[in-house]
């Protein structure tokens, strides 16, 4: 999922410098925005009802199912093992996974579905479901989950609700991947600090960073790009009681006092000398692996990356509570059923058999460095032995997802992400950068409202 070149986020995307890195996320949604459905689609309600029959199994002729994902990095082998096991247990269903980098995936999927050549099953991030739903790329899954007997109690209310757009379900959560605080044990030990000094609050965090500074160590590098500075900003915004956008998707709200304070805290780390200026793409993580950075706000996808580095001494914590309340950015891989051409409707029941099986085997998926979405998997003794994933899972009650608003990913990437970049690079004051970005975002949101209507 992230970079170890560091290997990249969301399936090792190309490493992009400066503003291009911030705009990389625009492509994910742009593909969905530019490619609408030509003509009326096959009735998705009829397809959803047919798919629900998969809850009773599949007894038809042998069939091959196309399964599309963006798992190009260390998350690919665990999914390949799961598919191999599924295929060995099902004589009449064979799943074949096609893997594309996430940025390309979100261009490719709507075009393929629109032309009648889409996959039977796919994986999408929770923050992409709304855009795919308005273009009827996906089938609603309410009847499917009812037939499978799935509900919020099988996951968590936050995870379950993330799959809903305008009152209809489009995704079944497979995992959750939040931000966490990685710490370098060797760096802390060199500064005379042990694990009892690990920070949970703003006061603790600043005190430890000051001690590190006295030893000549810049202990918390601040990145100006989305991975990881933008995700840090979103976490801090929510901790301060702020929101990214209004619930109806009509206006940006990230320039509130909570947003100014969040961005101000990031600048404070730089101005106090706890972080260097002009941190390059992935430089925060590279410094961490080279024992030059003590703390790193990064995602759960780095677990397997750091495990693979010989001699690296590290651990993880929930992100510290810098604001008035606990909150942390997160996202989730969701299992989805793309809309099918009329000739492909007989495949829907078999697709649901696979989706149901994969959901019930999410503990094995945790080997990819994820927190499984299924509650029973998270509560198992086997998962509790996955020390780092279990620590990330502690944050599920306070995980926050980007809002379910069509097109919001491209709006954020071309406005807020640039504002964070400019402020962290000390080119604009936080309030100035956020206010300018909010004005630009409001214009884009107005266009979205004309295209898609309000989110609620």
The CATH homologous superfamily of the domain defined by 35-174+332-393: Periplasmic binding protein-like II (3.40.190.10)
Q: How many CB atoms lie within 10 A of CB 344?
A: 17
Separation CA 213–CA 431 (nearest Å): 28
Length of the chain counted residue by residue: 456
Domain boundaries along the sequence of the chain: 35-174+332-393, 178-330+405-452
Select from 334, 333, 331 the least CA-distant residue to 392. Answer: 331
Q: Concatenated DSSP letters for 265-290?
A: HHHHHHHTTSS-SSPPTTHHHHHHHT
What sign does the dihedral 130-132-137-138 (CA atoms) show?
Answer: negative
Per-residue confidence (pLDDT) for residue 8, from 0 to 100: 35
Per-residue confidence (pLDDT) for residue 43, from 0 to 100: 65
How far is C-alpha 253 from the chain's CA centre? 21
How does pLDDT run along the chain (456 residues), one tens digit per residue?
433 333 333 333 333 333 333 333 333 444 444 333 333 344 676 787 888 788 888 888 999 999 999 999 889 999 999 999 999 999 999 999 999 999 999 999 999 999 999 999 999 999 999 999 999 999 999 999 999 999 999 999 999 999 999 999 999 999 999 999 999 999 999 999 988 889 999 999 999 999 999 999 999 999 999 999 999 999 999 999 999 999 999 999 999 999 999 999 999 999 999 999 999 999 999 999 999 999 999 999 999 999 999 999 999 999 999 999 999 999 999 999 999 887 566 789 999 999 999 999 999 999 999 999 999 999 999 999 999 999 999 999 999 998 899 999 999 999 999 999 999 999 999 999 999 999 999 999 999 988 887 766
User: Which pair of tokens denotes residue 387?
Assistant: 């020390």
pTM comes to 0.89
Distances 348 to 8, 91, 343 between C-alpha atoms, Å = 33, 17, 11
Separation CA 225–CA 317 (nearest Å): 22
Task: Give the list of residues 6+ apart from residue 313 with CB closer than 8 angstroms, or none.
Answer: 184, 185, 186
Per-residue confidence (pLDDT) for residue 1, from 0 to 100: 43
Task: Give the list of residues 6+ apart from residue 248 with CB closer than 8 angstroms, or none.
Answer: 454, 455, 456
| DSSP code of residue 241 | T
Select from 221, 349, 314, 326 the least CA-distant residue to 275. Answer: 221
Separation CA 37–CA 30 (nearest Å): 14
Task: Give the list of residues 6+ apart from residue 354 with CB closer than 8 angstroms, or none.
Answer: 65, 67, 86, 93, 95, 120, 121
Domain spanning 178-330+405-452, CATH class:
alpha beta
């Amino acid at each position: 999922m992230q970079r170890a070149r560091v290997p990249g986020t969301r399936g090792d995307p190309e490493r992009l410098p400066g503003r291009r890195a911030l705009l990389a996320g625009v492509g994910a949604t742009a593909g969905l925005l530019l490619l609408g459905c030509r003509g009326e689609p096959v009735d998705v309600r009829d397809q959803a009802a047919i798919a629900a029959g998969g809850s009773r199994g599949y007894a038809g002729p042998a069939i091959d199912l196309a399964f599309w994902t963006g798992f190009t990095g260390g998350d690919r082998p665990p999914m390949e093992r799961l598919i191999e096991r599924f295929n060995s247990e099902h004589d009449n269903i064979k799943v074949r996974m096609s893997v594309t980098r996430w940025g390309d995936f979100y261009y490719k999927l709507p075009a393929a579905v629109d032309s009648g050549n889409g996959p039977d099953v796919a994986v999408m991030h929770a923050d992409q479901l709304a855009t795919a739903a308005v273009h009827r790329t996906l089938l609603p899954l309410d009847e499917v989950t009812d037939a499978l007997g799935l509900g919020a109690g099988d996951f968590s209310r936050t995870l379950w609700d993330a799959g809903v757009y305008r009152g209809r379900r489009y995704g079944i959560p497979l995992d959750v991947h939040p931000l966490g605080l990685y710490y370098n044990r060797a760096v802390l030990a060199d500064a005379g600090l042990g694990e009892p000094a690990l920070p949970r609050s703003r006061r603790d965090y600043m005190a430890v960073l000051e001690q590190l500074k006295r030893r000549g160590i810049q202990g918390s590098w601040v990145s100006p790009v989305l991975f990881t500075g933008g995700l840090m900003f979103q976490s801090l915004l929510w901790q301060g009681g702020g929101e990214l956008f209004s619930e109806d998707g009509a206006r940006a709200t990230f320039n509130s006092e909570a947003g100014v304070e969040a961005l101000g805290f990031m600048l404070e780390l730089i101005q106090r000398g706890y972080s260097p200026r002009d941190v390059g793409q992935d430089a925060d993580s590279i410094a961490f692996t080279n024992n030059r950075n003590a703390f790193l706000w990064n995602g759960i996808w780095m677990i397997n990356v750091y495990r693979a580095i010989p001699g690296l001494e590290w651990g993880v914590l929930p992100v510290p509570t810098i604001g008035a309340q606990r909150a942390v950015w997160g996202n989730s891989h969701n299992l989805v059923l793309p809309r099918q051409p009329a000739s492909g409707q007989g495949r829907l029941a078999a697709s649901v058999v696979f989706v149901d099986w994969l959901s019930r085997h999410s503990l094995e998926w945790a080997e990819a460095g994820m927190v499984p979405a299924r509650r029973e998997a998270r509560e198992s003794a086997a998962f509790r032995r996955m020390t780092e994933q279990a620590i990330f899972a502690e944050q599920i009650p306070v995980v926050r997802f980007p809002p379910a608003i069509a097109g919001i990913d491209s709006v954020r990437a071309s406005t807020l992400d640039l504002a964070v970049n400019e402020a962290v690079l000390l080119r604009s004051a936080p309030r100035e950068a956020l206010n300018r970005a909010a004005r630009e975002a409001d214009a884009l949101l107005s266009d979205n409202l004309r295209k898609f209507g309000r989110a609620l």
